[in-house]
Amino acid sequence: MIDTELGSSPNPAQRIAHRGGGSLAPENTLAAFCAGLDAGLTAFECDVKLSADGVPFLLHDDLLDRTTTASGRASWKPWSRLARVDAGRKFDPRFGGERIPSLADLAGLVAGHEVWLNLEIKPDTDAGAALQADWGLRVARQAVRLWAGSPQQPCLSSFSIPALQGAQQAAPGLARAWLCERLPARWREVALALDLAALHLDASQCTPALIAEVQAQGLQLRAYTVDDPGEVARLLAAGVGVFTDALAA
């Protein structure tokens, strides 16, 4: 049995706002989290990267081009430049002027709200193992500082095992979750080594047999990204959390 007490979600089977606000607002922005809160969500997911000068901020892609009016690799730019980037206009002109938020900005926004957060550590896709581990360590340290004293601690997740190892070193008291498109045969070994609280799997992998197997190990299970109401209902009934863009459902 794997110990998952520290920082696990108090309600494993719940809808989780994907990238802050699902389809309601520009992803990974404060506007997204506000939209999610207004929709009644109490659990949120976002992506965390590091600026060139080590400031954790919210962005999914390596490049700024898809979601912002800027271009180029985000992690190569200092926070002073990233903080001025418009992250809303490409989604909808109504959100023009919405900025890339830092992790500290997010912590300030949710302070006072009873919400659960999943912070996905997103090293650049070509980062080596040492850099991935360093990102995990530094994001975890900042999370510990920003949520010090909070009754609801965030969960740190990543596809990157080195990033999770770094997070484990820096913040052993924060819950960790491993993201997998397809669960490998050695998943129990990884879960034990990283003292995982949860697995985050592609919804297509969440068969009744696998759900039972994961839960029997004492792990929470969450599925991404699920928008079909029937599939959401099936997973929630099985005790599986659901990352979703369909917040109005």
pLDDT digits (tens, 9 = 90+) for 25-69: 999 999 999 999 999 999 999 999 999 999 999 999 999 999 999
- Write down the pLDDT at residue 12: 81
| Catalytic choice (8, 12, 18, 99) | 18
pLDDT tops 50 at residue 93: yes
Give pLDDT tens digits for 220-239. Answer: 999 999 999 999 999 999 99
Neighbour-count burial for 103-137, b at 16+ CB within 10 Å, e otherwise: bebbbebbeeeebbbbbbbbbbeebeeebbbbbbb
Contacts (Cβ under 8 Å, ≥6 apart) of 79:
51, 52, 53, 55, 57, 102
pLDDT digits (tens, 9 = 90+) for 175-218: 999 999 999 999 999 999 999 999 999 999 999 999 999 999 99
Residue 9 inside a domain? The answer is no
**117 in any annotated domain:** yes
Q: Quote the pLDDT of residue 98.
A: 99
Q: Is 18 annotated as catalytic?
A: yes
Residue 26 lies in a domain: yes
In a domain, 7, yes or no: no
Domain containing 113: what range? Answer: 15-244
2, 34, 60, 83: the catalytic one is 60
Q: Which long-range contacts (CB under 8 A, 24 or more apart) does 245-248 make?
A: 245/18, 245/19, 245/22, 245/23, 246/22, 246/23, 247/15, 247/17, 247/21, 247/22, 247/23, 247/24, 247/35, 247/36, 247/39, 247/41, 248/24, 248/39
- What pLDDT score was predicted for residue 11? 80
Q: Is 178:161 a contact under the CB 8 Å cutoff?
A: yes
Number of domains into which the chain is organized: 1
Tokens 């996905």 locate to 120
The reported pLDDT for the residue numbered 4 is 44
Instruction: Give me the CATH number covering residue 198.
Output: 3.20.20.190
> Of all residues in the chain, what percent carry a pLDDT higher than 70?
96
Could you tell me the pLDDT band of residue 249, with boundaries at 50, 70 and 90? low
DSSP 194: T
Question: Is residue 208 domain-resident?
Answer: yes
Q: Is residue 230 part of a domain?
A: yes
Q: Which amino acid is at 162?
A: P
| Whether 113 is catalytic | no
In a domain, 186, yes or no: yes
Say which residue the tokens 């699902």 belong to.
Answer: 22
Place of tokens 């297509």: 204
Tens of pLDDT, residues 132-180: 999 999 999 999 999 999 999 999 999 999 999 999 999 999 999 999 9
Whole-prediction pTM value?
Answer: 0.96
Position 180 in a domain: yes
In sequence order, which residues have a C-beta less than 8 Å from that of residue 90 and are 6 or more positions away? 26, 66, 67, 68, 69
